[in-house]
Chain A
Amino acid sequence: MFPQFGATAETLSKASTMVFRIGTDAHLYDDPDDVSIAPLLDSKFDSEKCEALKRLLALIAQGFDVSNYFPQVVKNVASQSLEVKKLVYLYLLHYAEKRPNEALLSINCFQKDLGDPNPLVRAWALRTMAGIRLHVIAPLVLVAVGKCARDPSVYVRKCAASALPKVHDLRLEEHTLAIEEIVGMLLNDRSPAVVGAAAAAFASVCPYNLSLVGRNYRKLCEILPDVEEWGQIVLIGILLRYVIARHGLVKESIMFSLQCTESSHSAKDGSDVDFGLVKESTDLSGTCDSEFLNTISRCYMEGPDEYLSRSSYANRESFELNGAQFTSGKSNDDVKILLYSTSPLLWSNNNAVVLAAAGVHWVMAPKEDVKRIIKPLLYLLRSSNASKYVVLRNIQVFAKAMPSLFAPYFEDFFIFSSESYQIKALKLEILSYIATDSSISSIFKEFQDYIRDPDRRFAADTVAAIGLCVQRLPKMAHICVDGLLSLTRQEFVTKDFGFEDQEAGILTQVIMSIKSIIKQDPPSHEKVIIQLVRSLDSVKVPAARAMIIWMVGEYSSLGEIIPRMLTTVLKYLAWGFPSEAPETKLQILNTVCKVLEGATGDDLWTFKKIFSYLIELAECDLNYDLRDRARLLKKLPSCNLVSLGLEEGTNDIPGNDLLHIVAECILGRQTRKVKPKSFSYRYYLPGSLSQIVLHAAPGYEPLPKPCSLLLDDLNVAEGTSEMKRAADYSGTDDYGSSSDPSDEESASDYDSQRSVTESSGSDRGDDSEFTSEGNDNADPLIQISDIGNASENQNGVSQSSPANLGELMSNRALESWLDEQPGSLNPCLPKQSQVQISSAKISVGDVGKQVKQKSYSLLDPASGNGLKVDYSFSSEISSISRLLVCIEVFFKNCSSEIISEITLVDEESNRAFDSADKTAVVNESPLTSSDDVPTLVPMESIVSLEPGQTTRRILQVRFHHHLLPLKLALYCDGKKLPIKLRPDIGYFVKPLPMDVEVFIDKESHLPGMFEYARSCTFTDHIVELNKENGDSLLVKDKFLAICESLALKMLSNANLCLVSVDMPIAANLDDASGLRLRFSSEILSSSIPCLITIGVEGKCTDPLNLSIKVNCEETVFGLNLLNRIANFLVEPTLS
């Protein structure tokens, strides 16, 4: 109205803020690139670096891509200034995924910072390191997290907890157990702050591993009030799930209602056990909608999608809850303590905590105690509009299920004019649920005010709410109808203004409400119908008119007066027919037809005339719907009479019965009683996102199956129980499998079960003492020789296993650690050579011939139209470039027809730009040499393949050192089939022949940071030994068999060179401890040597404990190779 006021106020405020902008970063935001940023980044002053980084941040904020500054920014990660660090971290996290190679450069700095005395620096380093999501550094991050989880500073431990989901998010199956172990440890932390973050980690990493919670359930409950607010929200949910999985639902809670309806059925058969209880609950259910509660609790238990889809084919019984799945809230301590510890949270300052606590009480608390959540919930309505909306959406369900709970508080749902439309609509709906005979009068008084509100949409909703209220409380019907009728007479409704869309909506709503009220008890509202019919002249809104006309047809035989009015009314309608809206026209036709059906005597003739007149008009109407309707109605029996005159013979037509039925269906007098479906039937757990958006959001889980967590599970070693848990879930309810989509994707050959031993392996390493004596049972194959102090080395290996964090310690830390155990890592120290243990060298010469390359399937005949493609990694070395890995591919035609034109193409190469970009990245990276090598060297295509024929091709692929599957496209017969080639890090190396002395010398140059170890078990030899026992061979061959099977396994899974096999000379007959195999290789791309040592320990006939050690300059590669080796060694060979 007066825009100039607003404008001046705005300019004034702008002017005043200009004054305050001095000294802020305003200029940086406004013109971030008005100076050249690059030189500032290289400046030696922190303040200039800061300015440059702030400019970059401003550009990020404004949506520009400034990732090209990445290399320069990364350099600054080493800065001592915390502000520079912070800004670099902000930048790094934003772009790390885009520039993985450069991001790797910062790892060393993070590792250094992790040893910093300032906890803030440690925490930041950890957060950032975990935040740059690179698969290759995941093992390093995990070790860092493990270390920080034991940090003295609470803040660092908290950050460690929140870093776990980041690592888990990379979906590295082999680390799952290690992550879960850390989660368990942090959940047990004594600081509440850490427990909160650990709960969040638990919820996103391993929500099914409830046995982790079981171990310290009591402690978690007690600590709950002290946990910081955000952690509380998550922890409450976890504890609820645990209690249900462990003890089942509570008998006295609302969730029992589904049980009680079922048992009341059985009560009729006289076979019920606790009849008293059922009676009691039915008494209570007088105040609540038990059928609705049943729906809700089922939805909570199994997710509405499941429940609804099943109920549609009428098989509700498959989800049975028996009495054993219920526990008593009064006697079960775990339930009691949960309710006890969550009840003070209802007073929390944080809305989300209150709602979460209320959710627990809603599900678990005995019915009579549920009311304690009401006041806190209502208090939430005083918060911000956004929170208010979410809370109301939850109250909406609660109130519908148990209106009695909210009925006394109806005043809290009275509406303020300042509220948003959504909130008003929700409040109206809730009011219509909770209205009682005592409160209805004040509620109606309020509604009268609402109808006069300037927001007409809201007014229309109010009218609808009145209708709903009356349906619940029929006593009010007459008063309401009178009120509604007076509305129809009001001037504003009946006048036809241009802008009256919303008024039309109100009128339609008024008639609709009246209609629904009349439907409940038509005879008593006869006068209302008459009044409505009288008002037809003034009601102009088509939808409203149509409804009144419908009522004329529907109640045409009702009472005394209406039948007498009919002729006049129909004449009036017929007269005005041409000027009506299509909607009304259709309804007039229907109504006349209906009247005709029931008409008798004198009126019949008049009605018929009217009808045929209308049909004629309608058949020439512009609207084709109307023309169709007219033709259809004409064919109906009662109308037939009209067009054919009064021939009685028509009744003999055989199809006539059918026509009668059709007529009944179309014009059915008895409208079936349809329950009002104003409300969706989908219910999700209170407080969940899904409940707001009314569909299961990804990651939504219904409550766990009651009592699915057995006591045994808690006692079993955690690793296996976790597996069982997962299996249980996927077995019992179907979403288990979908919850982990990565399962199918991430390769059959990486099974997480194998890493079970990883965590516990560290303890075993220390026991490797060579106590056995004598037994010089020398074999011709075994040559006795001195090979350094092998056993010392063995100790070194086991002590630097992951749990000890040896490889991650910064240099300083490493040195101090070395001081504690002088020289144990370095076998070349002269001191050490005094303690020498003789060992023998075994030669297993012919192993090489036995090596069978493992073959993987690339394409199975079913999906490849009969073409079967297998591949195995070849030990050949590419002659084109050292970046390429050779793969042997076998094409076999399994079909009966010739397949022609087979060729393999890199899918990426289509996107030329993309791949160019990728090579550009590689070029800048110092780690790889700079040559332009394609991802896939073009394969010589196969012209044709006869049925049954097999052809072999050598494929040269460049994996870019990624461990992710490479997407290729296979063309055959002109068709394109997408396939995935899974890289094997074992073939990213090539054999590097050397003798033992060279090996030991090289190994001694790669200590500390470059040495990583892991342990695992090995079982292959057992099969082998059993076989040989049968042949009654000599016992001494056991060693040979072990060495052979071990070497075979290594060589057939990785491209290595066997350097030596050592055996302790003082070996016991069937103690394989001390056996050591050495392999050497070099990385294909960079020619960096990579040395592998495997130490054996344990009895010959038992599973052996292996400790694997890798020495390699390239940390990340080495770690990945180590993991790969450990994985395939554990995996039993399929024979």
Chain B
Amino acid sequence: MLQCIFLLSDSGEVMLEKQLTGHRVDRSICDWFWDHVISQGDSFKSQPVIASPTHYLFQVVREGITFLACTQVEMPPLMGIEFLCRVSDVLSDYLGGLNEDVIKDNFVIVYELLDEMIDNGFPLTTEANILREMIAPPNIVSKVLSVVTGNSSNVSDTLPGATGSCIPWRAAEPKYANNEVYVDLVEEMDAVINRDGALVKCEVYGEVQVNSHLSGLPDLTLSFANPSILDDVRFHPCVRFRPWESHQVLSFVPPDGEFKLMSYRIKKLKSTPLYVKPQLTSDAGKCRVNVLVGIRNDPGKTIDSITLEFQLPPCILSADLNSNHGTVNILGNKICSWTIGRIPKDKTPSLSGTLLLETELERLHVFPTFRVGFRIMGVALSGLQIDKLDLKTAPSRLYKGFRALTRAGEFEVRS
């Protein structure tokens, strides 16, 4: 069981400490931790489970904030890590993002949330909807109110009804004038294109995001036109397993508001919407770079927010890069980022220029990997289609809305 949770800022300062059990953990453990981070660098920071001399540490790093949990006894490490991830999700949801200031400014809420989320080292209430009812998130209205009146209570007086029901994700009996359900397919495309320009792998991770505003206790069923293309799925706890097993139909009582109904994975896709052709030729201490980006398969909708990013190899002294479309920036940590936006009709965007190698080096022997970003509204590239959405206990009117979106996930082009 977890004994203590620390929140560390990106400079190693302990912003918050929450002891969970009677076995107190001294915050000197954070000093030990940070000493190692400094001496071992990023490889230590990317180690999720650390055996320190006194405790086992689980660490999750989000937006520069390190969530550190300590235990001394055997427990499933994924439980600790998942819990920290959940904490960071809830916090960033509450505070509208995560950074040092926002946590310090709202430390009372963070304490109150942590206290509800975990009891004696075991997760207690982690369902975001219930937490929202127990502890009000800070918003402009309450902030202004607290300035004006000086009263700032954000702790609810009553226990949310959902804690007691057998569907803990749904608040009891909300009432809406308009019954609405919005279903979004949000897909992320992961692809790897190797040096030869061949597509090594291409798959889609998608989520079915639902925003439901339905009165009473609605029972929904959602079915797909082509469920057979789904490679693997994961469900929100509200989804009943058996109907899916037998008919591949999603049957569920939805939580109120926004939630992730399911996520899926579709493997072995045959093509990507974009092509990226990098060429690097090096000779006599110089490296000539030329990158072309264009549309390979037109998805039918505009591809926008196209970006290209790559890390300059460490042996490069300076870079002189230009593009015929969009802007090129080289950031402090030697990351070169090219913002293209949309692809113009009349020309193919290209990035070209030269890199100057270190003095002794004749030729480049390590090659950067290009990470591509894009977004396509209105299309689910995997081809998954929603067939229908039914409400068993049909209210008078039900408005249903469907949308789709595809963006790049881990889209990498090697050179």
Contact stretch, chosen from B216-224, B340-348, B365-373, B374-382:
B365-373
Known: A25-B106, A191-B166, A446-B194. A416 touches B410 (CB 8 A): yes
**Complex interface residues of chain A between 652 and 701 (CB less than 8 A to chain B):** 687-690, 692-693, 695-701
Q: Which residue of A lies closest to B194 (CB)?
A: A449
Question: Do residues A29 and B81 form an inter-chain contact, with CB atoms below 8 A?
Answer: no
The reply to whether A416 and B192 contact each other, CB–CB distance below 8 Å, is yes
Q: Is the CB of B76 within 8 A of A417?
A: no
> Are A166 and B369 interface neighbours, CB within 8 A?
no
A6 lies within 8 A of B332 (CB) = yes
| A115 close to chain B: CB less than 8 A | no
Collect the chain B residues with CB atoms within 8 Å of residue A233's CB.
76, 79
Contact between B164 and A153 (Cβ–Cβ < 8 Å)? yes
Q: Determine if A348 and B234 form an interchain contact, defined as CB atoms under 8 angstroms apart.
A: yes
Interface SS majority for chain B: mixed
User: Taking the complex as formed, is A378 at the interface, i.e. its CB lies under 8 A from any CB of chain B?
Assistant: yes
One of A490-498, A518-526, A552-560, A598-606 contacting the partner: A490-498
Nearest CB of B to A159, in Å: 7
Chain A interface size range = 35 or more
A63 at the interface (CB under 8 A from B): yes
Fill in one digit per residue for A352-395: 1 if any B CB lies within 8 Å of its CB, else 0. 10111000000000000000000110110010111101110000
Q: Which residues of B contact A391 (CB under 8 A)?
A: 78
| Assembled-state Cα–Cα distance A229/B104 (Å) | 30
Residues 16 to 72 of chain B near chain A (Cβ within 8 Å): 16-17, 19, 21-22, 24, 27, 42-43, 46-49, 51, 56, 58-60, 71-72
Known contacts being A688-B74, A697-B56, A699-B74, is A63 close to B17, with CB within 8 Å?
Answer: yes
What mask results when residues 365 to 404 of chain B are scored 1 for a CB within 8 Å of chain A, else 0? 1111101000000000000000000000000000000000
Cα A351 to Cα B82 with chains together (Å): 7
**For residue B59, which residues in chain A have a CB less than 8 angstroms away from its CB?**
386
Q: How many residues of B contact A (CB 8 A)?
A: 116
- A60: interface (CB < 8 Å): yes
Min CB–CB distance B302 → chain A (angstroms): 27
Docked complex Cα distance between A495 and B365 (Å)? 12
Complex contact A378–B232 (CB within 8 A): yes
Considering the complex, which residues of chain A in the window 62-111 have a beta carbon less than 8 Å from any beta carbon of chain B?
62-63, 81-83, 86-87, 89-90, 93-94, 97
Q: Say whether B164 contacts A385, CB under 8 Å.
A: no
Q: Is B93 an interface residue (CB 8 A)?
A: no
Check A890 for interface membership: any CB of B closer than 8 A.
Answer: no
| A3–B46 CA distance with the chains assembled, in angstroms | 24
**Is A271's beta carbon under 8 Å from chain B?**
no
**CA A349 – CA B241 in complex, angstroms?**
13
Q: Cβ of A61 and Cβ of B17 under 8 Å apart?
A: yes
Do B19 and A94 touch across chains, with their CB atoms under 8 A apart? yes
In the docked arrangement, what's the CA distance between A665 and B267, Å? 55
Asked whether B77 is an interface residue with its Cβ less than 8 Å from the other chain, the reply is yes
Q: Does A165 contact B (CB under 8 A)?
A: yes
With most chain B CB atoms within 10 A of its CB, the pick from A22, A23, A81, A378 is: A23
Docked pose: A417 CA to B59 CA in angstroms: 22
When the two chains form the complex, which single residue of B43, B122, B241 contacts A230, counting CB atoms closer than 8 Å?
A: B122
A456 within 8 A of B: yes
Within the assembled complex, what's the spacing in Å between the Cα atoms of A118 and B22?
A: 27
Are A61 and B163 neighbours in the complex by a CB distance under 8 Å?
no
Chain-B contact segment, one of A192-200, A281-289, A724-732, A1041-1049: A192-200
* B331 lies within 8 A of A163 (CB): no
Tell which of B19, B75, B371 touches A418, judged by Cβ atoms closer than 8 Å. Answer: B371
The residues in A between 380 and 412 inclusive whose CB is less than 8 angstroms from any CB of B are 382, 384-387, 389-391, 411
Interface contact B265-A387, CB-CB below 8 Å = no
Interface status of B237 (Cβ within 8 A of chain A): yes
Give the docked Cα–Cα distance between A689 and B49 (Å): 8
Q: Judging by beta carbons under 8 Å apart, are B73 and A23 in contact?
A: no
In the complex, chain A residues whose CB is within 8 Å of the CB of B104: 26, 29-30
In the complex, what residues of A have CB within 8 A of residue B313's CB?
454
Do A83 and B126 form a contact, CB below 8 Å, given A5-B332, A127-B119, A454-B368? Answer: no
B128 CB → nearest A CB, Å:
12
Interface: A999 (CB within 8 A): no
Confirm or deny: B112 has a beta carbon within 8 angstroms of a beta carbon on chain A.
Answer: yes
A1017 at the interface (CB under 8 A from B): no
Within A1-41, the residues touching B (CB, 8 Å) are 1-3, 5-6, 13-14, 17, 20-26, 28-30
Question: Judging by beta carbons under 8 Å apart, are A386 and B366 in contact?
Answer: no
The residue in chain B whose Cβ has the minimal distance to the Cβ of A415 is: B192
Residues from chain A with Cβ under 8 Å of B48 in the complex:
385-387, 389-390
CA distance A390 to B22 in the complex (A): 28
The reply on B152 being an interface residue by CB < 8 A is yes
Among A123, A386, A422, which residue has its beta carbon within 8 angstroms of that of B85? A386
Indicate if A515 sits at the interface (CB-CB under 8 A).
Answer: no
Known: A344-B245, A689-B49. A490 touches B365 (CB 8 A): yes
Q: Tell me, yes or no, whether A770 is within 8 Å of chain B by CB.
A: no
| A663 CA to B245 CA, complexed, in Å | 69
User: In the complex, what residues of A have CB within 8 A of residue B84's CB?
Assistant: 386
Query: Chain A residues with Cβ under 8 A from B51's Cβ?
Result: 693, 695
Query: Which residues of the partner chain A approach B157 to less than 8 Å between Cβ atoms?
Result: 82, 118, 120
B115 in contact with A689 (CB, 8 Å)? no
With A50-B152, A61-B16, A497-B360 already in contact, the answer to whether A120 and B76 are too (CB < 8 A) is no
Cβ distance A690 to chain B, nearest Cβ, rounded Å? 6
**How far is A230 from B125 in the complex, measured between Cα atoms in Å?**
10
A177-233 with Cβ < 8 A to chain B:
191-193, 197, 200, 204, 225-226, 228-230, 233
Residue of A nearest to B143 (CB): A23
Are B331 and A5 in touch, CB under 8 angstroms? yes
CA separation between A354 and B234, bound complex, in Å?
Answer: 10
Q: Residue B124 at the A interface, CB < 8 A?
A: yes
B101 at interface (Cβ–Cβ under 8 A)? yes
> Chain A residues near B325 (CB, 8 Å)?
none
The reply to whether A379 and B27 contact each other, CB–CB distance below 8 Å, is no
Chain B residues contacting A193 (CB-CB under 8 Å) are 163, 168
* Cβ distance A345 to chain B, nearest Cβ, rounded Å: 9
Residue among B159, B241, B244, B371 with the highest chain A CB neighbour number at 10 A: B159
- Is A432 interfacial (CB 8 A cutoff)? no
Known contacts A61-B15, A387-B78: A379-B265 contact under CB 8 Å: yes
Chain A: CB-nearest residue to B114? A90
A390 CA to B60 CA in the complex, in Å? Answer: 12
Question: How far apart sit A1062 and B345, CA to CA, in the bound complex (Å)?
Answer: 108
- On chain A, the residues within 8 Å of B150 by CB distance are 47
Judged by a CB distance under 8 angstroms, whether A119 is at the interface is yes
> When the two chains form their complex, are residues A352 and B79 in contact, meaning their CB atoms are under 8 A apart?
yes
Q: For the A-B complex with A23-B146, A349-B237, A688-B77 known, give 16 more contacts whose Cβ atoms are closer than 8 Å.
A: A3-B332, A13-B99, A47-B151, A94-B19, A97-B22, A349-B260, A356-B76, A382-B265, A387-B85, A411-B200, A414-B200, A416-B192, A423-B46, A446-B194, A452-B367, A696-B74
- Could you name 21 residue pairs across A and B whose Cβ atoms are closer than 8 Å? A2-B331, A20-B102, A23-B138, A57-B108, A82-B157, A86-B115, A153-B159, A153-B164, A155-B163, A162-B119, A166-B120, A347-B233, A386-B48, A386-B58, A386-B59, A389-B48, A390-B48, A420-B43, A420-B46, A452-B365, A689-B56
Could you list which residues of chain B lie within 8 angstroms of chain A, going by C-beta atoms? 1, 14-17, 19, 21-22, 24, 27, 42-43, 46-49, 51, 56, 58-60, 71-79, 81-85, 99, 101-102, 104-109, 111-112, 115, 119-120, 122-124, 126, 138, 142-144, 146-147, 150-159, 163-164, 166, 168, 190, 192, 194-195, 200-201, 205, 231-237, 241-242, 244-245, 260, 263, 265, 267, 311, 313-314, 330-334, 360-363, 365-369, 371, 410, 412, 414
- The interface of chain A, by Cβ under 8 A from chain B, is 1-3, 5-6, 13-14, 17, 20-26, 28-30, 47, 50, 54, 57-58, 60-63, 81-83, 86-87, 89-90, 93-94, 97, 118-120, 123, 127, 130-131, 133, 153-155, 158-159, 162-163, 165-166, 169, 191-193, 197, 200, 204, 225-226, 228-230, 233, 237, 344, 347-352, 354-356, 375-376, 378-379, 382, 384-387, 389-391, 411, 414, 416-418, 420-423, 442, 445-446, 448-449, 452-454, 456, 459, 490-492, 495, 497, 687-690, 692-693, 695-701
